[in-house]
Amino acid sequence: MSEPWEDDVEGPVKKFMFINRKSPYGTVYALESLEVVLITAAFDQDVSLVFSDDGVFQIKKGQKTDGIGMKNFSPTYRALEGYDVEKLYVDKESLDERGLTQEDLLVDVEILSRAELADLMDEQDVVLSF
């Protein structure tokens, strides 16, 4: 028996990619994805996040949800670094279509083309779409 403070034996590490394509608040996808990302990271897995299509609004700066009576979960994306989730990618085309730039986003991300994202997706063991 190991003491409770001793780390568990390391298990297999898989490459997980989470693809976020939905605006926050209108549906529950964004929040659900974030929860699963945190759980996956707590299990020391290799996690990548992609924000594309309306998913880019999930990390838009300046979200104020008092008026709609829902919890503003956007600050949690800034906690990801502490969970060692540092691979955040944004689809350039999605940003351009919406008139947004890196300046509008509340976390540091790498902006990639669809071809580059497709290559990354190809390298994964598990791809989860939200």
- Determine the interface stretch with other proteins among 10-18, 32-40, 109-117, 119-127 (rule: CB under 8 A): 32-40
DSSP 45-92: -EEEEEE-GGGGGGGBS----GGGT----GGGGGGGGGGT--EEEEEH
Instruction: Determine if 78 is a binding residue for other proteins (CB under 8 A).
Output: yes
Instruction: Determine if 35 is a binding residue for other proteins (CB under 8 A).
Output: yes
Instruction: Return the CA Rg of the chain.
Output: 16
Position of tokens 């979200």?
63
- Determine the interface stretch with other proteins among 16-24, 109-117, 119-127 (rule: CB under 8 A): 16-24
Give the footprint of other proteins on this chain (CB under 8 A).
3-7, 22-27, 35, 38-39, 41-44, 53-54, 57, 60-68, 70-76, 78-79, 82-83, 96-99, 104
